[in-house]
């Protein structure tokens, strides 16, 4: 028997050129369904004017990032039960720090531009061994296996919305982008080294680790930013004792 709850869903609504307002819809929900299911149902059955973004419904595309009860969530993998109780109110709003296009949809063009800028690879060789230890074969792996894997970062923008620094400093590259630079590899690209070793790069981060807390996809941007700092410091110490020409910085 499927459990049935009744909750109030409070939607952030905004059309272009108009002021935002909240809209409340009372909905019967299954506590085990995900937030995207009730958002889609609200559009399909209650109010056809609701605008929201979504595509894959299983956390591989990153399209349905939103703020659920003031917290950044990927709506397709957020069970209703985890964010509200029976009879309670669930608030859904667009991500912060990006321009709102309408209702729950924001313009993430800037994030995509910056991910290209740092050369983040959407498909990469499986360097970090996606298969978790409990499922990994015992003994040596099959030789000559070079698996490719879609990158962990799904560019959902949750970390950029949750970052307390990005909200006050739009020039700050931001956690997703710095994590993208870390994945791309500084070693290959001296210009990238310069880009992140700056006041809008790794040194702007305040180590709040909100990015890591909200990341739905194992990227851990906070850790990656700290790793980038270590690399930068390491490089500075090295060049202190072994000065190089500027063109070689980062090699």
Residue 250 CA to residue 232 CA, distance in Å, equals 8
Is position 231 an interface residue for another protein (rule: CB under 8 A)? no
How distant, in Å, are the alpha carbons of 36, 66, 185 from that of 54?
8, 10, 30
Among the candidate windows 110-118, 160-168, 182-190, 239-247, which touches another protein by CB under 8 A? 110-118
Name residue 11's beta-bridge partners.
Answer: 23, 92
DSSP secondary structure code for residue 103 in this structure: T
Per-residue string for binding with another protein, 49-88, x by CB under 8 A?
Answer: x-xxxxxxxxxxxxx------------xx-----------
Residue 41 CA to residue 37 CA, distance in Å, equals 6
Is position 199 an interface residue for another protein (rule: CB under 8 A)? no
Is position 227 an interface residue for another protein (rule: CB under 8 A)? no
Q: What is the largest CA-CA distance in the chain?
A: 71
Per-residue string for binding with another protein, 157-196, x by CB under 8 A?
Answer: ----------------------------------------
Which is nearer to another protein, 140 or 246 (by Cβ)?
Answer: 140
Least Å distance, CB 240 to another protein, is 38
Q: Which of 31, 42, 30, 32 is nearest to 66 (CA)?
A: 42
Is position 144 an interface residue for another protein (rule: CB under 8 A)? no
Q: Cβ neighbours of residue 131 under 8 Å, at least 6 residues apart?
A: none
**Other CB atoms within 10 A of residue 29 CB:** 21
Is position 44 an interface residue for another protein (rule: CB under 8 A)? yes
- Say if CB 232 and CB 197 are below 8 A apart: yes
Site for another protein (CB under 8 A): how many residues?
62
By CB under 8 A, name the binding residues for another protein. Answer: 2, 15-17, 33-34, 37, 40-41, 43-45, 49, 51-63, 76-77, 101-102, 105, 107-109, 112-113, 115-116, 121-123, 126, 130-132, 134-138, 142, 145, 147-152, 154-155, 217-218
């Amino acid at each position: 028997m499927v459990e049935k709850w009744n909750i109030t869903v409070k939607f952030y609504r905004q059309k272009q050129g108009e002021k935002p307002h909240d809209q409340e819809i009372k909905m019967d929900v299954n506590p085990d369904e995900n937030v995207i299911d009730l958002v889609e149902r609200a559009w399909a059955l209650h109010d056809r004017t609701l605008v929201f973004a979504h595509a894959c419904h299983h956390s591989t595309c990153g399209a349905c990032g939103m703020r659920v009860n003031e917290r950044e969530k990927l709506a397709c993998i957020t069970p209703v039960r985890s964010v509200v109780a029976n009879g309670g109110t669930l608030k859904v709003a667009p991500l912060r720090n990006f321009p709102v296009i309408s209702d729950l949809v924001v313009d993430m063009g800037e994030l995509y531009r910056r991910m290209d800028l740092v050369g983040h690879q959407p498909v990469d060789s499986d360097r970090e061994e996606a298969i978790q230890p409990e499922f990994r074969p015992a003994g040596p792996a099959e030789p000559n296996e070079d698996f490719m894997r879609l990158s962990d970062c799904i560019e959902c923008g949750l970390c950029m919305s949750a970052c307390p620094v990005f909200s006050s400093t739009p020039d700050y590259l931001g956690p997703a982008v710095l994590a993208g630079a870390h994945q791309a590899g500084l070693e290959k690209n001296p210009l990238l080294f310069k880009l992140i070793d700056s006041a809008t790069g790794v040194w702007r981060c305040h180590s709040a680790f909100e990015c890591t807390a909200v990341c739905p996809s194992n990227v851990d941007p906070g850790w990656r930013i700290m790793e980038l700092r270590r690399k930068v410091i390491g490089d500075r110490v090295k060049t202190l004792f072994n000065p190089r020409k500027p063109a070689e910085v980062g090699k």
